[in-house]
Amino acid sequence: MTRPSFDLPAGTGVLPSSTEDTRTNDDITAALANPPSEVTSQKNIWAFWDKGFDELRGWQKRNVIGWARKLGPSWTVRVLDCAPGSPSNVLNYLDPATLPEAVVNCSMTEAHSGQHLSDLVRLPLLHRYGGIYLDIGVFLLGDLEGSLWNKIVDPASDYRIGGFAHQHRKNSWGSLQNFCIVAQRGEEALQVWQRILLEVWKGRTSSQGLVEHPVFDGVPAEINPRVLMTIKPGSEADLMDYWVNLLGWEKLKVTVDAARGFNGPEYVRKHALLLDPMQESFAAEVRTRLNTFRLFQMLTCPRDAHAPGVDPALHAEAKALVDYLLTSSTVLKLYHGHGHMLAPPLATFWDAPGNEDADARPGTFGEYLRYVGETVDQKREVQPLVLPAYDGPVLYKPLP
């Protein structure tokens, strides 16, 4: 496959040749299908798709291949699964004792079980091996290694865990999205977080009602009003259960367990490296004011302003947005929303019949964003959020 060649946006450069992954897409795909049997480094990119890499949609496969190209050959990318006999089966990498029975037995009963399975394997993977966990929907643009990983492995740094902040709940101080989690092997908070989830999922095969589990008593869980404006009325309870993995972090961050010597608020303020999500992961939606169909139109707009039928206003918007993302965002986070969102997410349009190549259609801004994103050096220093002293509720009780 011949890769397209593009000029880079102003103020950027090409990544050093030492980081270049020169394999073909087929070579990268073959390596993903037959991952190394041993984990010999902490420079791992972990992901999960219950049915395996081959069952991903085209745009999702291109996301994963883009991780390999962007981060280069010093990183090993693995997409784990639950497929019997697969070399990428997650049980080849993890002790079943670190997972709920519903994961070990493949006995989850709900429509979105794949998402919950991925939630429940990411923490023990990072705890055992270290590295970066990414959701399949992450479209990598910036320097994830420089802005997160290098700061966490720096022995002079206090940072121990990193990712993007989230604002799903009113008490969003120190909240962590789980679509990207960065940590070294053996990190304490990963184990604390997973123990909370093991307790919540004990004997369960469905997430329904998990938010009501006694382990979450006293944990602030009210949805942020800004989020309520983007979801369909009546979706609140389903989304709270869907976000139960995040609620595990909320439990961790507000709990002081004196017997274990764990102070959640202190840990998060001192050791969590959080990036601004609106700037670094959701800038496309912010700049289009959640007009996701317009975003889809922008990315399928031809880059040639003189091509037949090109709307000059759409072209100008698309160029401004794509240049901004390529110079000012670390990732483009894509999600489905599972029918709960008022506006269909961008991924929904890419999933539609006839749009199999819409994310990278030749000659479009989407193609430009994807392939330039794999090679561009943004030449900027991403600044982490500075967390003030925590003044929210604190729970003084034992953790699971």
Q: What is the pLDDT along the chain (400 residues), one digit of tens a residue?
A: 466 778 889 889 998 877 888 899 999 999 999 999 899 999 999 999 999 999 999 999 999 999 999 999 999 999 999 999 999 999 999 999 999 999 998 888 877 788 889 999 999 999 999 999 999 999 999 999 999 999 999 999 999 999 999 866 667 889 999 999 999 999 999 999 999 999 999 999 998 899 899 999 999 877 766 665 676 776 677 777 888 999 999 999 999 999 999 999 999 999 999 999 999 999 999 999 889 999 999 999 999 999 999 999 999 999 999 999 999 999 999 988 766 777 889 999 999 999 999 999 999 999 999 999 999 999 999 999 999 999 999 999 999 9
Sign of torsion, CA 238 353 46 279?
Answer: negative
Instruction: List C-alpha distances in Å: 11 to 15, 148, 317, 324, 379.
Output: 13, 22, 19, 11, 8
Structure tokens at 46: 């972990």
Residue 142 and residue 180 in contact, taking contact as beta carbons nearer than 8 Å: no
What are 81's strand-pairing partners? 89
The whole-number pLDDT of residue 227 equals 67
The whole-number pLDDT of residue 226 equals 65
Give this prediction's pTM: 0.95
Residue 264 and residue 277 in contact, taking contact as beta carbons nearer than 8 Å: no
For residue range 299-358, list pLDDT tens digits in order.
999 999 999 999 999 999 999 999 999 999 999 999 887 667 778 899 999 999 999 999
Cα–Cα dist 46/10, whole Å: 32
Residue 158 DSSP SS3? coil
The whole-number pLDDT of residue 111 equals 72
Cα–Cα dist 374/17, whole Å: 12
Cα–Cα dist 196/214, whole Å: 11
The whole-number pLDDT of residue 4 equals 73
Cα–Cα dist 235/246, whole Å: 17
The whole-number pLDDT of residue 194 equals 98
For residue range 106-157, list pLDDT tens digits in order.
888 877 788 889 999 999 999 999 999 999 999 999 999 999 999 999 999 9
In the numeric block, the tokens 């993903």 are attached to 32
Helix axes 188-201, 113-129, angle to 10 degrees: 150
What is the 3-class SS of 362-383, one letter each residue? CCEHHHHHHHHHCCEECCCCCC
Which residue, among 313, 310, 289, has the nearest Cα to 300 in the 3D structure? 310
**Which sequence spans correspond to the domains of the chain?**
13-282, 285-377
